[in-house]
Each structure stands twice: as structure tokens, then as C-alpha cells.
Amino acid sequence: MSTTYAGRTMADRIDLQEAARRLGVHYQTAYRWVREGRIPAVRVRGRYELEISDVDAYARERDAPSPATVRGSRREWGRSADRLLAALCDGDERTATDVVSRLHAQGESTLDVLSRVVAPAMAGIGDRWAAGELTVAHEHRASEVVSRLLVGIDQRRPGRPRGTVVVTAPPGEQHGLPVDMAAAVLREDGWNVELLGRDMPADALHGFVASIAPDLVVLTVTTPAAAAAADAISHDLSDAGHDVLVGEPGRTLSDLVQGARAVRAEQRRLLARRRGPQ
């Protein structure tokens, strides 16, 4: 005869150690969440016991994409993007650094700064190059300035990583800035990032992925030729059992973060199913 508690059997409950394992965090982190009331728990013979359904619900809540917060108005974001664009066109690295560092100091996330300010500014650089107002040299200078700016705002969320992700670009893809930006927002979202840069030979990438067995591979592309190479690599890696996301023109950094979280959530769901009831 099974023992029940609040309509549940003992098999429906787990201890704090098992809850931490299911959540992918350290025991002390799970303990803190219980103490803060984030996860319901009861004390039985001096130790905490938690409902599996409550633990799984909290795991889904943590993995759900959070909407970007906007401390400033759309107009203020636009002004920052315009100021950054002007600085990049002029090669004024000091002003460009000031724009980005001020936003970061105000507590804006790396995702917001890159999505709302840096990406629009770089799109403006591209538009001016296409119109013949800037040369390729100007575009390269702007990209290099932004790459240096990323160093100041690139930070990993403290705590246990969501997982390990390899971020790179396929052979023939010469634009490295999208790779760096993707790595920055994933690192901020709690991933351990293995950054391999642009124009990565397929055989070298396959070997590296096989050697470290990451939870996810992200490929960034900006041209049709690179997209075709990325698709071929993605199929090969998928056949080898690896999860892959391919960033394409039109996809946002928010799309990337949400897609990576969705992949990780599905991996955890499949792992829990294979393990069966605990």
C-alpha cells in the first residue's frame, strides 16, 4: 500500500538533491530557491521533499524566454542607435564606446543593447555601403569597432551553465561580427560558449564537435552561399546526433536565444523520459 500526501503518492515526491539534478543546478542553488519560496517544499524528518510536478513546472518557467525589458522608450533606443551609427561612420570609437558603455552601466542587457542599438546601427552601415556612401573599408572599420565594444559588455550569467554551445560560421562566411554577437547573447543567457569564429572548415568543425560533444551547435550566415554550406554541415551534424541551429538573415538575436532555450528544454524532456520515474 503506497503512502499518500496531499493526494499524491510518495513516488510523486523527490528530495532536494534529486530536484537539483533535474533542474541542472547545484544543490545549494536548489536549496536557496526553496528557501525563497520559488519552489514549494515540505520538511519530512528533517529534510525537504518536493513534488516532481512543482520541480518540472519551475524548470519550464526558467527555460521560458523572457520578454526583453525596455527601460527607455523606443525613441530613446532609436536615438542611441542613430548616435552609434554616426560614430561608426566617422570612425569615432570613443563616442561609440560611450554610447554602448552607458547603456550597459544603466543595467541594460547585452541582448537589448545588441538588438536595439548595435544591430540597427550596423544595418545602417550596410545601407550606406549599398548606396555607395561608404566603402568596404568603412564597413570593416565599423565591424572592428563593434567587435572591440563587445568585450566591455560580454558577460556570462553566474551559476551553473545551461549547457555547452559551439558558435561559429561555415566555410566561406567572412563576416565574423554575427558570430561574436551570437556568442555574447548566449553567454549572457547562461551558456558555456565555445567560440570558433568565422570561416570554419567543415572537417575541423566536425572533429571538434565530436571531441567535446556540445549540447548545441550554432552557425551564423549572411550570404546564400554560406547558407548552403551551413545547411550541409547542419545535416551532417544532425545525422551524427547533434542539435544545430542555423542563424539566417532576418533572424534576430532574440530568436536565437529562444531557439537555444527550446532545444535545451526538449533535451531535458527526452532525458527525463528515458530515465523514467525516479
Contact (Cβ atoms closer than 8 angstroms) between residue 157 and residue 192: no
Same fold, 74-153 and 164-274: no
- pLDDT over 70 percentage in the chain: 89
- Judge: domain 74-153, CATH 1.10.1240.10: yes
pLDDT tens by residue, 238-247: 999 999 999 8
Contact (Cβ atoms closer than 8 angstroms) between residue 146 and residue 85: no
- Distances in whole angstroms, Cα of residue 12 to Cα of each of 7, 51, 54: 10, 6, 10
Q: What is the pLDDT of residue 260?
A: 93
CATH, domain range 4-63: 1.10.1660.10
pLDDT tens by residue, 3-22: 333 344 445 789 888 888 88
The SS3 assignment for 261 reads helix
What's the rounded Cα separation, in Å, for the pair 182 and 167?
A: 7
- Residues 52-72 have a mean pLDDT of 69
Q: Is the pLDDT of residue 71 over 70?
A: no
- The domain spans of the chain are 4-63, 74-153, 164-274
User: Could you tell me which CATH class the domain 164-274 is placed in?
Assistant: alpha beta
Q: Give me 206's grid cell.
A: 566536425
Residues 6+ apart with CB under 8 A from 29: 20, 23, 159, 160
- Distances in whole angstroms, Cα of residue 42 to Cα of each of 2, 6, 12, 34, 65: 18, 11, 13, 9, 29
| pTM of full prediction above 0.75 | no
- Residues 116-134 have a mean pLDDT of 93
- Distances in whole angstroms, Cα of residue 144 to Cα of each of 42, 123, 191: 54, 15, 24
Alpha carbon 111 to chain centroid, angstroms: 9
What's the rounded Cα separation, in Å, for the pair 261 and 190?
A: 10
Q: Is the pLDDT of residue 197 over 90?
A: yes
Q: What is the pLDDT of residue 9?
A: 45
